[in-house]
Amino acid sequence: MTQYLNCVIVEHNPSNKSIDKSVIWLHGLGASGHDFEPVVPELGLDPQLAVRFVFPHAPRIPVTVNGGMVMPAWYDILEMSLDRKVDVVQIEKSAAAIRDLIQREIEQGVNPENIVIAGFSQGGAVAYQTALTYPQRLAGLLTLSTYLAVEDTSNYTAINKDLPIKIDHGTQDPVVPIVLGQRANETLTNQGYQVEFNTYPMAHQVCLPQIKAIGQWLNKVL
């Protein structure tokens, strides 16, 4: 029997329809599934949409760059250099756990082409790995203040080659420098993906104008 990650569930469904769209949104290092819960009502989503937001909690593991402290994390970070030494095996393990959540949404009646994968910082790195290697067409990929942690693109699936991808990054981010977001944009664009890359005058965070833009994007891709 599949052991699913614990999740916070928020539904946007003003018209009381059957839920037929989902957004699985991963938090950053040391945070929880509650982190982006308050964002949902601020998105300005179409009232005709029936969307389930799934905010999973990362497992608690030791994180090397934080002195081995145990905290919610999708994978271990071994070194905070620009080249970011990380535990790739753990990234894939987390991506597998998110694939299980996608399958659960499918079993609850949501077609994969109506599922968006989103993530902030560490969660965004796992979102990249999950969505770009997924064997069925998804609705979109939203990555915030993050980076491509897995350089091997050989297992990216052709079916998601035209996946709408939105990358947002703060120009003053001291945690994940903007060059890493730019690098991800360049890598994916060079691979033939259609990427929308946006910057905001902020640090390692989200801001209200960005949230409104994300809502407009979700209205379009869902």
Tell me which residues are annotated as active site. Answer: 121, 173, 204
Q: Is the dihedral of CA 150, 97, 168, 201 positive or negative?
A: negative
Whether the Cβ atoms of residue 55 and residue 36 lie closer than 8 Å to each other: yes
R_g (Cα) of the chain, nearest Å: 16
Start-to-end CA distance of the chain, whole Å, equals 30
Strand segments, DSSP code E, in 57-151 are 60-63, 69-72, 77-79, 85-86, 115-120, 140-144
Q: Which amino acid is at 149?
A: A
State how far the Cα of 203 lies from the Cα of 200, in Å rounded to an integer.
9
Of 19, 92, 4, 90, the closest CA to residue 55 belongs to 4
Q: Coil, strand, or helix at residue 169?
A: strand
